[in-house]
Chains A and B, each alone.
Chain A
Amino acid sequence: DVQLTQSPSFLSASVGDRVTITCRASQAIDNFLAWFQQKPGEPPKLLIYAASTLQSGVPSRFSGSGSGTDFSLTISSLQPEDFATYSCQQDHVYPWTFGPGTKVEIK
């Protein structure tokens, strides 16, 4: 199975900060990687797919990059509604797997 690791696991930041979360795959997955945002009590929301393609309706302050084994999600200017948990997910091979999540909290 493809293992996904994320760093950091926890991040404390302020409104307006630039934030980057990384996701590393245990084997090459080309660019078959998505990013999700989840708030407590809510289902995940798709932000990015194919590593760098912004899902319709997602603000442009979110961006993704990477290919192979190393990926990143960047929020260019953190907004109050962005405090949440972010998870990566690969769909290159079955079983599809998710990263453990990165919790972004208010400093």
Chain B
Amino acid sequence: QQPVQSPQAVILREGEDAVINCSSSKALYSVHWYRQKHGEAPVFLMILLKGGEQKGHEKISASFNEKKQQSSLYLTASQLSYSGTYFCGTENLRNSGYSTLTFGKGTMLLVSP
């Protein structure tokens, strides 16, 4: 089942902050975050493993609450280069015994000057 991302879209001015949420109805092994620019491939930002830890990447960080099956991506002091669509991917174990990522529908972020 697809994780639910919110909001669907965000418009920011340069320097403002944003939070993107991702929630799942299934137990999670990990959560991945990716950013995709228009017409390009998604680029990996970070992975959050079980343990509720917070990870950081430049001015972008994320948290993972495994009990609530939720993750949040925090973008602080946004830059023009942050514009794009952000996807969370939740790692789930399949009947095959292997795990794969199920992606949310994405959150479109537009940062304006």
Whether chain B is bound by chain A comes out as: no
Residues of A within 8 A of B (CB): none
